[in-house]
A and B are shown apart, each in its own frame.
Chain A
Amino acid sequence: MKKEEVPQDNIRHFRTARKAAYVVDEEGHYTTVPTTGWNVEEVILYQAIGEFEEQAETCRQRVARGEDSPIAYFMFKRRMDPTVLAQAMGLPRWRVRRHLKGKVFARMGEGLLKEYARVLRVPLDALTPFRPDVLEQETYELPPGLSTADRQAGRTPGPESTAGESSRRSTP
């Protein structure tokens, strides 16, 4: 890849971040240049996110009908699958798979529920009764791309920002 061929597509999820790409400069020497992303990366990332979101949404409806357990919903929301969740819980996968069923969930003990709540980092009272909206109130989120340099300059990257580089970038 030559230096002038590096894609600078301002892709959505990078926000103010830039990645380093290895490129060949005019004299044929290797160097790195910051890039605002490649469209291909945007396509594949939103494909992966869309897959999780779709699963979570189907699951939410199934939970409402009592077919799935709320644990399954939060699992997809946390971008996990049964294998990852089982390893995080330290349980065999078949047990975790059972716990994803609505009927089994209704009979689960408090100790196990607490552990699921801890691993999925949701409050226990969001599991029973099921409150899917709890994730929308999460507070650990920092403003995207808020780096030290931004902070020192008192800038908050985002659509309302007016300062240089960050205002140029599109935010979803």
Chain B
Amino acid sequence: MKHVIDFEHRHYGHCESGVVSGLLRHSGLDLSEAMVFGLASAIMFAYVPFLRMNNMPTISYRILPRTIISGIQSRLGIPFRKQTYRDPGRAMEELVDFMRRGQIVGLQTSAYWLTYFPPEMRFQFNVHNLIVFGVEDGEFLVSDPVFEHPVRIPATDLENARFARGVMAPKGFVYHPEGVPSSVDLPVLIRKAIARTLFMMLSSPPPFGIRGIFYLARKIERMERSKDGRYIRLFLGHMVRMQEEIGTGGGGFRFMYAAFLQEAADILNSAALLEASRKMTLAGDQWRTFALACARIIRQRDGAPDLKEIAALLRRCGEVERDVYVLLKKGI
């Protein structure tokens, strides 16, 4: 059994936006990953203390999983076929059917069971996305956006990954666009997308958006009194992992969003957007500085960490980023 679809693999910064960009490109609508990310208004900051995993609160630099897909769907008016399954056997049969019909598909999987991942990087993280573009000798050909080259995975491993259970279980989630418009009115859509991002970042109550960043900074400062050094180090490590490790293109998606703003500036021919892009790059750099400071504290292993410094750095991230949105608000 061999069905391989002609698909050009590309290396992206993030899994979900990369998969959506790849699927659209294959259907004839060429949007960059950054453009997909921006159009879905995917940049965010959220600190949700009551949603805990491995004893750590949820910290996110983007909107909820799967919402990049639905965001593109509603903003561009592209219908996506989406499906989940109860029966793993049927899901795998239908995946082969897709390949037989020449339809590449996006899948939601758990990172833990993807055997082509380096073993150290396998965590119970149920919202990793990838594209399947072929099947050959009981193995599926996978274009994983965060990997440099296409990879292969045995069918049983892929089945495990698609039907891992737990938080945000994928349940075999499969999706692909059904027909794309021949042209899209990018200038209008970009304005809408940015307006939505501005609303979410500037007007959300804490712990979301810019206010969420300041709220978290205050929380971190107070940890000195209530938590021991070990917990603080784990917390900072967790935060930086969400920012750098979970495929963000660096700086917790801020660089990716800056790339979007730059593209948008070209399309709209707007100097304000270009300036916003430049400032967003600075915001990303600020987040990297924050990550570096956290890593330094983790490496010390013992002694009381200087949380004043960390909180100040985090506030600085919030300030630099707020300037970007304020600038955008005036410019758009």
Q: Which residues of A contact B (CB under 8 A)?
A: 1, 12-15, 17-24, 29-30, 32, 34, 38-41, 43-49, 51, 78-81, 83-85, 87-90, 119, 121, 140-142, 144-151
Q: Mark B155-193, 1 if CB is under 8 A from A, else 0.
A: 001001000111101000000000000000000000000
Nearest CB in chain B: distance from A27 CB, A: 11
Complex alpha-carbon distance, A17 and B11, angstroms: 11
Per CB-CB distance, the 4 closest pairs between chain A and chain B, nearest first, are A22-B255, A30-B259, A13-B120, A88-B165
CA distance A43 to B122 in the complex (A): 16
| Complex contacts, A89 vs chain B, CB 8 Å | 165
Contacts known (A45-B241, A48-B238); A147 close to B124, Cβ less than 8 A? no
Binds A, one of B41-49, B83-91, B244-252: B244-252
A1-B255, A45-B245, A47-B298 as given contacts; A17 in contact with B118, CB under 8 Å? yes
Interface: B226 (CB within 8 A): no
CA distance A17 to B240 in the complex (A): 20
Interface footprint category on B: 35 or more
Using a CB–CB distance below 8 Å, which chain B residues touch chain A?
11-13, 34, 52-55, 112, 115-116, 118-124, 141, 146-152, 157, 160, 164-167, 169, 233-234, 237-238, 240-241, 244-245, 247, 249-251, 255-256, 258-259, 262-263, 277, 281, 284-285, 288, 291-292, 294-295, 298-299
User: Is there contact, CB below 8 Å, between B285 and A17?
Assistant: no
Known contacts being A1-B281, A30-B258, is A48 close to B237, with CB within 8 Å? yes
Cβ-defined contact, A80 with B166, below 8 A: yes
Task: Evaluate contact between B288 and A1: CB separation under 8 angstroms.
Answer: yes
Q: How many inter-chain contacts with C-beta < 8 Å in the A-B complex? A: 156
Contact A146 B124, beta carbon cutoff 8 Å: no
Listed A/B pairs (14) with beta-carbon separation below 8 Å = A1-B250, A13-B118, A13-B120, A13-B121, A20-B148, A22-B13, A22-B34, A22-B284, A44-B298, A45-B120, A83-B167, A87-B165, A141-B115, A150-B149
Contacts of B112 in A (CB 8 A): 78-79
- How many angstroms between the C-alpha atoms of A41 and B243 in the bound complex? 10
Instruction: Given A17-B148, A24-B281, A47-B234, decide whether A40 and B259 contact each other with a Cβ distance below 8 A.
Output: no
Given contacts A1-B284, A144-B119, contact A81 B255 (CB under 8 A): no
Given known contacts A20-B249, A47-B237, A48-B241, A15 and B167 CB-to-CB distance under 8 angstroms: no
On chain A, the residues within 8 Å of B119 by CB distance are 141, 144
Interface contact A39-B34, CB-CB below 8 Å: no
Report the minimum CB–CB distance from B89 to chain A (whole Å): 16
